[in-house]
Amino acid sequence: MQERVYLDHAATTPAHPDVVSAMIPYMTKIFGNPSSVHSFGREARFALDDARAFIAQSINAKENEIIFTSGGTEADNTALFGVAMANKDKGNHIITTAIEHHAILYACKQLEKEGFEITYLPVNEHGEISIEDLKSALKDTTILVSTMYGNNEVGTIQPIREIGALLSGTNVLFHSDAVQAFGIEKIDVNDLKLDLMSVSAHKINGPKGVGFLYVRNGVKFLPRQFGGEQERKRRAGTENVAGIVGLKEAIRLSELDMLEKVERFKQFKQRMINIFQKEKINFSVNGEGARAQLPHIFNVSFPGTNVESMLTNLDLTGIAASSGSACTAGSVEPSHVLVAMYGKGSDRTTNSIRFSFGYGNTLEEIEGAAHKITNIVKRLTNEK
């Protein structure tokens, strides 16, 4: 079998072996329900409390500000609906951006049906919102601003610190979807003045189906899920104990080599660019010129190609990558992110591929992939 190269870490990552080892006992020996009073239950509860304390200190939050969820989608939905429903007496206006993940955008569409007014801030060609646009969108009825930390398609980082500073001390709450940025950037929710933040484990070499939502104490918030009283009455249901233990371990590991990882991913990106330039293929990097970008995401437009042929050819040579609209399974629909950045008619919306790096990728593998990509691009563009 040919060697495969996985360059789709923004979609998901393999669980780290240490994560798996940490989880196993919680599926076998330590299987109790954390709500049970007996020793089996206490052991499971201890693991949850331990993970919660670890995560809280990692983001400079308090333990009771962490709600475990089934991942980024649930965290995003819970943030939006939880705040919207609890604060509708104060106002019905929410501000978000045109390039959010669908977990936010589709939740907003539903909120619109339920009588909320949503403003979708535009972005510039680098994928950045402007603070001036945000300022002019704010009104008396605004209850929440939700902007992603780092974009999952192009990697652009939003001016989170400036937004936090602008909203701090006002009645407007600030949520950020940090699913892609978490584990790559150290995040301090107090420093950034975040009121809510979404995180998912499977993007940082943790297990799938688990994540958390940070909700600052004092934020008026209605639960979305009702039942047995787990998660401090804010989310019912038996927790995914093994998953939460895995999430904690993934966060612990991500903190050990954060700086080194960032440097490694930057090097991968630069090496690919160098090879493309040396081989003289036509390409441009989407989001280039942004003030800050997530280093693991490299979204490239190859003029004269199209996403379908590129992805098929990449797959045939063993390279796993994604289309621009990477989070809609199998989708080759023009990406709403690239449309917002470059306009509907731009060929970037139909010829862009996202490569995303992760733990396990080697420079050798990246160079090999860059040469294969070059050959595919040359072949596809010469065929014309």
Binding mask 37-56 for ligand PMP (x = CB under 6 A): --------------------
Told to check if 305 binds ligand PMP by CB under 6 A, we report no
Angle between helices 39-59 and 241-256 (to 10 degrees): 30
Render 210-255 in DSSP notation, one character per residue. -EEEEE-TT-----S--SS--GGGTS-S---HHHHHHHHHHHHHHH
Backbone angles phi, psi at 298, to 5 degrees: -135, 105
Contact partners, residue 49, CB within 8 Å, separation at least 6: 63
C-alpha closest to that of 179 among 218, 206, 159, 217: 206
Distance CA 105, CA 109 (A): 6
One residue of 23, 55, 108, 148 binding ligand PMP per CB under 6 A: 148
Identify which of residues 71 and 164 has a Cβ nearer to ligand PMP in the complex. 71
CB of 288 to ligand PMP, least distance (A): 20
Q: Which of 52, 93, 101, 193 binds ligand PMP (CB under 6 A)?
A: 101
Q: How far is the CB of 146 from ligand PMP (least distance, A)?
A: 11
- Judged by CB under 6 A, the number of residues near ligand PMP is 15
**Minimum CB distance to ligand PMP, residue 104 (Å):** 7
Residue 264 in the binding site for ligand PMP (CB under 6 A): no
The long-range contacts involving 258-265, CB below 8 angstroms and separated by at least 24 positions, are 258/183, 258/184, 258/185, 258/186, 261/184, 261/295, 261/359, 262/184, 262/295, 264/357, 265/295, 265/296, 265/357
**Alpha-carbon span 71 to 164, nearest angstrom:** 24
Q: Exactly one of 7, 244, 314, 327 binds ligand PMP (CB under 6 A); which one?
A: 327
Which one, 148 or 215, has the nearer CB to ligand PMP?
A: 148
Cα-atom radius of gyration of the chain, to the nearest Å? 21
> Of the listed pieces 1-9, 18-26, 66-74, 106-114, which binds ligand PMP according to CB under 6 A?
66-74
Binding to ligand PMP by residue 152, rule CB under 6 A? yes
How many helices (H) and strands (E) the chain has is answered by 11, 13
Residues paired with residue 198 on neighbouring β-strands, in sequence order = 177, 213
Angle at 273 between CA 297 and CA 148, to 5 degrees: 20
Residue from 103, 107, 244, 314 touching ligand PMP (CB under 6 A): that is 103
Q: Which of 142, 146, 200, 349 binds ligand PMP (CB under 6 A)?
A: 200
Inter-residue contact 177 to 148 (CB < 8 Å): yes
Give the residue closest to ligand PMP by C-beta: 72
Closest to ligand PMP by CB, 154 or 370: 154
In Å, the largest CA–CA distance within the chain is 70
Q: Which of 13, 58, 73, 78: binder of ligand PMP (CB under 6 A)?
A: 73
Tell me, yes or no, if 327 is annotated catalytic.
yes
- Residue with Cβ nearer ligand PMP (109 or 220): 109
Catalytic residue among 99, 163, 242, 327: 327
Which of 32, 206, 207, 211 binds ligand PMP (CB under 6 A)? It is 211
Contacts with ligand PMP in 173-192 (CB under 6 A)?
A: 177, 179-180
Contacts to ligand PMP by CB under 6 A: 71-73, 76, 101, 103, 148, 152, 177, 179-180, 200, 202, 211, 327
Give the residue numbers annotated as catalytic, written as ranges. Answer: 327
